[in-house]
Structure 1
Amino acid sequence: MKALETLLKTALLGTARSSVSSLELSASLKPLAEADTEIEDKVLKAASLLFIQKEGGKVFSKKWFPTTQAPAETFAYCSQSASRLLKEILNKQYYELLRKWLIKCEEAQLLVQPEHLPQLLALGRNLLAFRPLIKPVVGERGKWLAAFNKDWQYLLSSETDIWELGKAEERKSFLASLRKKHPQHALEVLTSSWKSEAADARVAFLEILKQGLSIQDALFLESALADKSKKVRATAFNLLIRLKDSALTTQLFEAAAPMLLKKNEKSFIGLKKTAISFQKVAMGTQLDVYGISKESLDKKFSDEAYYLYQLIELIHPSLWTSYFGMDAGEVVQVFLKEKELKPMLTALLEATIFHEDEEWAGALSDTLKSGKLKPTNADPDFRIKLFGILSPEDKLRYFQSEAFHMSLLDSLELCNFKWTATFSKKALSLLYKQVAERGLHPYERERVSELYKYINPSILAEKESYLPPENENKATWREAMDQLFTKLEMNTGIEEVF
């Protein structure tokens, strides 16, 4: 220790007053340090000799290694082409593509080639969300190998170990993976420890239940409505109203329906027309517990109208099409004609976005485009969110006609379906015109490259036409396109090798 301090002082203060003889070197090593004439050489040599003296003869800890070989595999290994593709994906760190590769490999009941096991197991050490994807494809050899490295032994954990002893993120990843494969079993696992979970964990776990949500979850969610935590109650409430057949949805609908009266009338020329009118009815107390106010907080609404507005915001809009016996577009047109009902269209807009109803999104988008509907007090991003719910056909139609005033990149990201070759060409051409000349911001480059998920693979044959000659202004565009086409080629390759 004293010798190390002497070396540090010499390095910091200089060699003028340094003395190698003051170092605690053994008798056999000290002459070697004194052999040089220059003091700097003596100090450097003394430092290396000191390290040798310290490390020499050290007895390393003995570890037991099993002498058995890895058990035989039940499943076959993936092809060499699939293995080469995995190597490229791992080296590029394209994690979305890695996720897809692992899922496809498991679906094909194949295993990762042994050469990739160390890299995959190391990745799972830090990226907890990948553990449920890695485990099924590493086979017996992967489990055998994990026994040699404590950082990989997550692979040996049982379902019970992960749920009862795992870290917060690991437990969430496990539950999300289980929910996707076996929704009812995931609910049973969550129920088993529900009472002992912290409030924040209960909220996080409830949000995972949105995946594969069904009426089988209703009983559990109804019990969560009585939770001590306000956030837990709110999350359970929002899940229950997504279920059109839940008791809560029925209760909300039965409170709202009597306030909307449908009548079939005849016009002055004898044609039948449907009218819907607002009716004031007594407001019960059964919904007070859910925060439904019976007093208007908006001067534009009477107490009864405000009460109805709140209910419409919560109820799945498809229930109104069934109740009135009309399609969404027809209901919207009737509401537009009634002074008391027209403001309710904003509530229907909010309900459509919350419940992600495709038919109502199309009807309301048409009305917005016509200028007849100008929502007040709506979500500021309602146009973007509504566009995201449209059917692929409607998205293409609105995108091509530029019906909404959104950024081009925002609208393309919301066209989250497989594009035709024609639309792929148009999209890239429009992007090139808009952003290539000015260059892409760093956050835009990644977003552009992620469009590979939707672009038609046939575009690869013409990729050079979207790669301008390199220059200062367009370098960032070229980088984004290079990355996009690389990802597109890999994505196409995954489909081919499995």
Structure 2
Amino acid sequence: MKAWEDLVGTALLGTRRRTLDPATQPAAVQNLIEDRPDPAEQLLTAAAVLTTYRRAGRQPLHDVRPLPVASHDDRPFVPPLARERLARLLAASHPDLLLEWLGIVAGTDYRVPPETLPLLAEAARSKAALRGPLVAVAGPVGAWLGQRNPDWSYLCAPAEEQADVWQYGSLTQRRRWLAAKLTQDPAAAREALHTSWKTEPADVRSDFLGVLAGHLEAQDEDFLEAALTDRAAAVRERAAELLGRLPGTRYGESMAERLRPLVRRRGRILEVTVPQGERGDGTVRLRTLVAAAPLAFWTEFGPPAEVVRMTVEGCPAGVLRDSWATAALRQRDETWAQALIGADPGGRTTPPLLGVLGPASQAATVGHLIGRLPVESFARLVHELPRPWTKELGTALLDWIARQDDHRLVSHAAVVIARAVPPRCLRHPLATTRLTMDAGPWRRALTETLNFRREMYEELA
């Protein structure tokens, strides 16, 4: 609009340096300013008229049709106390607690009040983890909102059972479709995955392998072997990880055969020869071989608890231990996980290895680590423990923190413990015992969070 541009340019420069050219203005504005001799008065008059026109000078709308009404949802709303708690969660911006709250509601027959949906949709727009449970609790009203606002389009996602979701759905929809199909019709799911595999971007290929990880079968060996030659490193690594979970694969046996001439035991010493790589990457090659070979390969050198404590010559001991840890994680081998944790309880591989253990062993091992590690080291370990936690592990951690004095790292660990312990731990004495007046702020926050979470579950029971 030339009139507006000339007006703004004159205002920026000032009427002493530039006067408004009436010829650039609409005829109605020219009639208003032509009898005004002061350039500043001309400018202000034109600005007032043009600004009003830009704000309100629009043609009336024709053929206006009312918006369609959202489909009926006969589910009851969450109880009044739960509504109040939702308002507090949204006002306080606690996405982790909000995610838990939505997950609880999604497991019931309740829905959220429609007036809360815009705020929930905005929260889920920036935190994708909230979207799945929000779609479930929002129902058709959420889908209606998603159709009106492109930023909330995830709320109106088509049902995963539709035939064209695999071709045209979002990544989240396709992941859900693949996971459901692998359970309901594994053959059809694998056919769809194999057919579209070469046309998928690298990050999507890696993501789909992650979905396949929960449904691995022996028939996936050929497909995963082919993925080992993928041009994307992330895909190759994920394929090797999944092959490690399958027992007796050709890949694992070939890695063991290549590793066999490189390892020899001499008394309490494990002699390892680093393989010669084409580009001097022998250590990288050794890591690959050890991580991919079945852990049963090492039984000829002794039991796991003995092997991991041997003196290593020929390569850094850390390379071997890290690769053993990778193999134990892939093969879900509890014996090796226990042995590696015992040999280096404060090591960086200890947290993921704890995830390999069964509930009772995990809690017992954590109790053992509490006695072996300094308080500061164990407090750091808490942040890295794999989730979800079992009741046994949650109870062990609550018992530990109940005995601790004020410490910066302990207070940080308390935040993690309060949010991560499972619902069955929310009646621990820490949450039900009245605090003394001299209790530290972190201890009060811990108790408040445990009680807050317990009340969430009780209100929605």
Number of equivalenced pairs: 431
2: CA distance, partners of 1:331 / 1:422: 27
- TM-score computed with the length of structure 2 as normaliser: 0.69
Asked if the contact 1:85–1:490 (Cα under 8 Å) also holds between the matched residues in 2, the reply is: no
Is the counterpart of residue 248 in structure 1 residue 251 in structure 2? yes
2:365 equivalent to 1:394? yes
Amino acid corresponding to residue 196 of structure 2 in structure 1: S
Q: Distance in 1 between matches of 2:182 and 2:414?
A: 34
Question: CA, structure 1 residues 220+78, in 2 after alignment: closer, same or farther (shift >3 Å)?
Answer: farther
Match of 1:406, SS state, is helix
Amino acid at match of 1:135: V
Q: Which residue is equivalent to 1:235? A: 238
Aligned position for 1:13: 13
Preserved CA contact (<8 Å) 2:263 2:273: no
CA distance in 2, matches of 1:38, 1:69: 56
Amino acid aligned to 1:454: A
Q: SS where residue 102 of structure 1 aligns? A: helix
Whichever residue aligns with residue 238 of structure 2, its letter is T
Provide Cα deviations, 1:355-405, integer angstroms capped at 9, x if missing partner: 454432222333346x9xxxxxxxx83456556656122113212331698
Correspondences of 1:329-478 after superposition (within 5 Å): 330-333=303-306, 346=321, 348-355=324-331, 357-368=333-344, 381-382=348-349, 385-386=352-353, 391-402=362-373, 406=377, 408-414=379-385, 417=389, 418=391, 423-424=397-398, 426-427=400-401, 430=404, 432-434=406-408, 449-454=415-420, 457=426, 458=428, 459-460=430-431, 468=440
Provide the C-alpha distance between the structure 2 equivalents of 1:308 and 1:6, rounded to a whole number of angstroms.
72
Give the corresponding residue for 2:275: 296
CA distance in 2, matches of 1:207, 1:351: 17
Superposition TM-score, scaled by structure 1 size: 0.65
1:97 is matched with 97
Contact 2:256–2:294 (8 Å) recurs in 1: no
| 2:293 paired residue number | 315
Structure 1 residue 253: Cα displacement:
5.6
Shift of 1:58: 0.8
Aligned residue identity for 1:414: L
Q: How far off its partner does 1:239 sit? A: 1.1
Shift in Å, 1:276: 10
- RMSD across aligned C-alpha pairs, in angstroms? 5.3
Per-residue CA deviations over 1:222-271 (Å, capped at 9, x if unaligned) read 44346566654443222111222545345556777899999xxxxxxxxx
> Larger deviation: 453-462 or 113-122?
453-462
Q: Does 1:165 align with 2:168?
A: yes
- Sequence identity, in percent? 24
Q: Mark the CA change 1:192 to 1:432 in structure 2 (over 3 Å): closer, same or farther.
A: farther
**Which runs of 5 or more structure 1 residues have no equivalent in the other structure?**
263-274, 281-292, 372-379, 469-477
User: Aligned with 1:72: secondary structure?
Assistant: coil
Letter in 1 for 2:336: W
Query: Per the alignment, in what secondary structure is the counterpart of residue 241 of structure 1?
Result: helix
Query: Does the Cα contact within 8 Å between 1:260 and 1:276 map onto a contact in 2?
Result: no
Q: Which runs of 5+ in 2 are unaligned?
A: none
SS of 2:71's equivalent in the other structure is: coil
Instruction: Measure, in 2, the Cα distance between the counterparts of 1:276 and 1:179.
Output: 51
Contact 2:308–2:340 (CA<8 Å) still a contact in 1?
A: no
Structure 1 residues 381 and 78: CA distance shift in structure 2, 3 A: same
State the AA in 2 paired with 1:400. G
Question: Structure 1's 150 and 15: CA in aligned 2 closer, same or farther, altered over 3 A?
Answer: same
In structure 2, the partner of 1:4 is 4
What's the CA shift string for 1:389-422, capped at 9, x where partnerless?
Answer: 5612211321233169837334454275356668
* 55 and 76 in structure 1: CA distance in 2 versus 1, 3 angstrom threshold: closer
For the residues of structure 2 that align with 1:215 and 1:493, how far apart are their CA atoms? 45
Equivalence for 1:48: 48
Q: What pairs with 1:118-137 in structure 2 (closer than 5 Å)?
A: 118-125=118-125, 127-137=127-137
User: Which of 197, 201, 209 is matched with 1:198 structurally?
Assistant: 201
